Structure 1
Amino acid sequence: MKKIRFNCAFLVFILILSGCSSSEFEPELDLKVMDFEYTNQRNEVISLEKLKGTPWLAMFIYTRCNTVCPPMTSNMADVHAAIEKEGIENYKIVGFSVDPAYDSPEILSNYLSYYPIENVSKWELLTGYEQAEITQFALQSFNTVAKKLTGSDDVIHDIKYFLVDQNGIVVKSYDGYTDVPIEEIVTDLKSVQR
């Protein structure tokens, strides 16, 4: 009988501990985003400094991509809808073009218009830098690849989304192509704001 009571008490204790730990956001990454000043789809300058105080979701895409980028952008539109439904107001979605020579602000704006996004002001699709700069920026800030193939319009890039906290630190990444963990992203975004 004592053993049963002990087991029940131990089980309750473990459940309490697990309940406490799961509500606390645990960063999986600790990468500092390099300072930047790039141009968005509205021809406005967006910088790391302007994003300070706001958590954001980052992704690497380009408009001539006809494989992974359209599903990634569509999936991010679904994530965005879930964020809005949750009533979260302090956030941004930042897409870095990995084909800046082609992706002008006008082309990025047109690209975004194909997706069902209600609050498009939350989106910053960025360009206005050299190819070598975005390759270096992706590697140093996000530990990811963004490399243009020689003699081709194709660019190799990651299919992840990255959560950046309000201090410009990359704290987590998620699959942005298949099995996108929308609920987890929304929960994590809420958690980093605390």
Structure 2
Amino acid sequence: MKKLYLLVLISLMMILAACGDSAIEGFSHSDQRGEEVSLEDLKGSPWLATFVFTNCTTVCPPMTFNMVAIQEELEAQGIEDYKIVAFSVDPVTDKPEVLADYLDKFNVPDPSKWHLLTGYSQDDIATYAKDNFKAFVKDDPASNQVVHGTSFYLVDGTGNIAHNYDGFTDVPVEQIAQDMQELLE
């Protein structure tokens, strides 16, 4: 039954990912430094977005490692004008200091580029993810985990999603860097 539940949730995530327009609605939330970060703050430069949470026992650590690999590639190519934004899908647990401790566990080349966001309700992030990224976010009733998509989203400097990538397996690191560079040109 648990496997069937997960299969249904994954199917819904895939359907939602294929639907809708690509404009991101405004937001303003606290990051891991306790600073407010808004969509307006991010405008003017491309940014990579994803959804994670700090007590995740499955996909989030590999996704974060993959995002670090992308940042390493961006640095190797001399790309500097970007941000990385991760929306916590467990905002009750993921206070700014918890997010800061989580990020410290990874060998992040430039932590100043990262904004791990929190400061909203579970329902709010589930709705925001669905409405803006066509991403699925749902508490797993059988555990303390949150079921969520594993995509990375490249958002352009005007706040529109330009590309969507798998952030868990077969992550196209070089393609993401190339797409980022094209947005900067």
- For these two proteins, the number of residue pairs brought into alignment is 166
Q: Over residues 18-71 of structure 1, what are the superposed CA-to-partner deviations in whole Å (9 max), with x where a residue is unaligned?
A: xxxxxxxxxxx8511111000000000000010010100001000010110000
Any idea what SS the aligned residue of 1:64 has?
coil
Q: Percent identity?
A: 46
- Contact preservation (8 Å) 1:55, 1:166: yes
- Contact preservation (8 Å) 2:71, 2:109: no
Q: Over residues 135-175 of structure 1, what are the superposed CA-to-partner deviations in whole Å (9 max), with x where a residue is unaligned?
A: 01001110111111236311111111000000000111111
Q: 2:36 & 2:142 partners in 1: Cα distance?
A: 31
Q: Is it true that 1:171 corresponds to 2:162 in the alignment? A: yes
Q: 2:142 & 2:97 partners in 1: Cα distance?
A: 25
Q: Is it true that 1:84 corresponds to 2:75 in the alignment? A: yes
2:77 counterpart letter in structure 1: E
5+ residue gaps, structure 2: 1-19
Q: Is it true that 1:193 corresponds to 2:159 in the alignment? A: no
Q: 1:115 aligns with which of 91, 106, 112?
A: 106
Question: Segments of 4+ in structure 1 off by > 4 A?
Answer: none
- Contact preservation (8 Å) 1:79, 1:186: yes
- Contact preservation (8 Å) 1:77, 1:117: yes
Which residue of structure 1 aligns with residue 61 of structure 2?
A: 70
Any idea what SS the aligned residue of 1:185 has?
helix
TM-score, normalised to structure 2, is 0.87
Aligned-pair Cα RMSD in Å: 1.1
Any idea what SS the aligned residue of 2:109 has?
coil
Q: Flag the 1:144–1:150 CA change in 2: closer, same or farther, 3 A.
A: same
Q: Is it true that 1:183 corresponds to 2:177 in the alignment? A: no
Matches within 5 A, 1:142-181: 142-150=133-141, 152-181=143-172
